[in-house]
Chain A
Amino acid sequence: EAGVAQSPRYKIIEKRQSVAFWCNPISGHATLYWYQQILGQGPKLLIQFQNNGVVDDSQLPKDRFSAERLKGVDSTLKIQPAKLEDSAVYLCASSSGRMARGYTFGSGTRLTVV
């Protein structure tokens, strides 16, 4: 089966600019996650979708970050305006459901804010 697709692979922007990331999960996977991984740290969950509804966004900085999953398939994560501390790898993952035992991760988008 095809994996979780993410684009772009790399992005460099200036602070206060906006940026968007895209994720296409494994076909049929109802649950989609966005994680932020700062260099030297483990990934931190930003938002979790079940189909097109938000299940958990408690760690999403809602003043600058937004995410949507229209039609319960693809998802986009947006940052506006970006700060230096947003430099990180943004990982998308999917699973077949909330009871699924494991995840499949995409390769991530590396964001550098200068």
Chain B
Amino acid sequence: KQEVTQIPAALSVPEGENLVLNCSFTDSAIYNLQWFRQDPGKGLTSLLLIQSSQREQTSGRLNASLDKSSGRSTLYIAASQPGDSATYLCAVRPQPLVVKLTFGQGTILTVHP
């Protein structure tokens, strides 16, 4: 059974810092891994999706890496801003024809001015 763990559970940083969020999964047989952002009272917004054959994806100040063999992914946020404050979730999908995502519990990020 796939288990996804995110560390840390919460993170508070001053504006401008570069930061790393970690995600680990127990079964390396994944199809893809996705990072989501969740704002209070809102649904999930997809940030980055990495296919199992890829090692990283970038979007603006965000960079996600994937090391499938070791069961790890990291989300790097450069030059953090107060607007980045949210909960960040990673989720893995096992196979192309199996779309059930297994989520981690999330990292609550607070960026203070």
Query: Is B a genuine binding partner of A?
Result: yes
How many residues from A make CB contacts under 8 Å with B? 27
Encode contact with A along B31-53: 1 for CB under 8 Å, 0 otherwise: 01010100001111110010100
Interface residue stretch chosen among B13-21, B64-72, B74-82, B92-100: B92-100
User: With A48-B99, A98-B97, A99-B96 as given contacts, are A43 and B44 in contact (CB-CB < 8 Å)?
Assistant: yes
- B101 to chain A: closest residue by CB: A45
Q: Report A-chain residues with C-beta under 8 Å of the C-beta of B44.
A: 43, 91, 93, 103, 105
Name which residue of chain B comes closest to A110, CB basis. Answer: B41
A43, A44, A106, A108: most-surrounded residue (chain B CB, <10 A) = A43
Number of interface residues of B (CB under 8 A): 23
Specify which chain A residues have a CB less than 8 angstroms from the CB of B100 in the assembled complex.
Answer: 45, 48, 56
Which residues of the partner chain A approach B103 to less than 8 Å between Cβ atoms?
42-44
Residues of B within 8 A of A6 (CB): 43
From A33, A99, A104, A107, give the contact of B41 (CB < 8 A): A107
When A42-B91, A98-B99, A99-B96 are in contact, do A107 and B104 touch as well, CB less than 8 Å?
A: no
Q: A42-B91, A42-B103, A93-B43 are in contact. List 13 more A-B contacts (CB 8 A).
A: A31-B99, A33-B99, A41-B105, A42-B4, A45-B100, A48-B99, A95-B99, A99-B96, A99-B97, A102-B46, A105-B45, A107-B43, A108-B42
Q: Chain B residues in contact with chain A, CB under 8 A?
A: 4, 32, 34, 36, 41-46, 49, 51, 89, 91, 96-97, 99-101, 103-106
